[in-house]
Every structure is written in C-alpha cells, then in structure tokens.
Amino acid sequence: MRGRVTDPAAAPAWIGLGANLGDARAALAGAVQAMGRLAGTQVLRVSSLYRSAPVDATGPDYLNAVAELRTTLAPQALLQALQALELAAGRERPYRNAPRTLDLDVLLYGSQSIATPTLTVPHPRLWERAFVLLPLAELRPGWATPAQLRAVAGQRIECLGAW
C-alpha cells in the first residue's frame, strides 16, 4: 500500500468486493493490495471475509468483503480504476449477474448521492444484500438499521473471519 493520504480533499469510500470463480480469496486479497496502490488512495480497513450464496444469479458461492478507503480520486475516476482492476483479474461481463473472477462496487463515497448513467451511489441494491450489509456494518457499526439487517436475514451468508 502507498503511504497515508493526507490531502484534506480526500474522501472516504467503501468498496464491495466479491468473487466466485477461480481462486476467489487470492483475487480479493490482490484487489485490496491493488486498491492501496491507486494514486491518492489508502486502504484504511477491510472487513472479515464472508461466504454467500449468489443473489439473483447462479454459480458457486461468493467470497465477499468491504474495504474502507480514503481517496483523492473523484467518484467516476475511482469507478474507472476499479473496473481496470476487474479487467486485470480476468473479469468478463457476458450477461447480467454472471459469475465473476472479481467484482468491485463503489458502495458509498463520503456522504454523496450520485446518479449518472455509469455510477449510482449509494449502490442501488446495497440494502437488499446481506453480503454487502454485514461486512459494511462491521466497518460502520450502527450505520445499517436493525430493520435493514432483518430484511436480509434470510439470505445464506457465513462470516469466515479474518483473512
């Protein structure tokens, strides 16, 4: 990882990580390291690792986590950098919700609400998915309400603990 980001313009961002093809654990660990090498970006914390069943998709179980960043990259630039990391990890997009070698989603960017053709923040399905809410709640206790957590309680997910 690069050194500490001290720029006062740096914003906090939370990134959802997922993979269910190949060596998913190695892909996620590599993505965390690669995010720490992005210009003006520091990885502050990473949640525990979780195993979850695919939601609205088929294929093997996913490994998931959430990373908290501090970055000077603008939201769209951060998205583009994350998509470049996905491509470098062999990500293909043959159809919506296809199994993947690496998935990196901008969940939150500071307190901003963003709605562009390519980026919506907060992530539009953030509150519908245990594999996002549970690791995010680990990093931001109290952020998700008990009702939001109960709404995803029926989804199969297992905390695997530290990496």
Q: What is the pLDDT of residues 25-57, one digit of tens each?
A: 999 999 999 999 999 999 999 999 999 998 877
Token digits of residue 46: 């990473």
Residue 2 lies in a domain: no
Residue 4 lies in a domain: no
State pTM to two decimals: 0.92
Weakest-pLDDT range from 33-42, 55-64, 67-76: 55-64
Residue 91 lies in a domain: yes
Mean pLDDT of the 71-90 span: 94
Q: Which of 45, 56, 103, 150 is catalytic?
A: 103
Given the DSSP bridges, would you call strands 49-52 and 157-161 parallel, antiparallel or unpaired? antiparallel
Residue 148 lies in a domain: yes
Residue 85 lies in a domain: yes
CA 33 to chain CA centroid, nearest Å: 14
SS3 readout for the chain? CCCCCCCCCCEEEEEEEEECCCCHHHHHHHHHHHHHCCCCEEEEEECCEEEECCCCCCCCCEEEEEEEEEECCCHHHHHHHHHHHHHHCCCCCCCCCCCCCCEEEEEEECCCCEECCCCEECCCCHHHCHHHHHHHHHHCCCCCCHHHHHHCCCCCEEEEECC
Residue 119 pLDDT > 80: yes
CATH of the domain at 97: 3.30.70.560
- Quote the pLDDT of residue 100: 87
- Quote the pLDDT of residue 98: 63
CA distance 45 to 105: 16
Residue 44 lies in a domain: yes
Residue 90 lies in a domain: yes
Q: Which of 45, 61, 100, 150 is catalytic?
A: 100
Residue 1 pLDDT > 70: no
| Domain ranges, residue 123 | 11-161
pLDDT band at 116 (very low <50, low <70, confident <90, very high): very high
- Verify whether residue 103 is a known catalytic residue: yes
- Verify whether residue 61 is a known catalytic residue: no
Residue 66 lies in a domain: yes
Mean pLDDT of the 118-123 span: 93
- Verify whether residue 91 is a known catalytic residue: yes
- Per the structure, how many domains does the chain have? 1
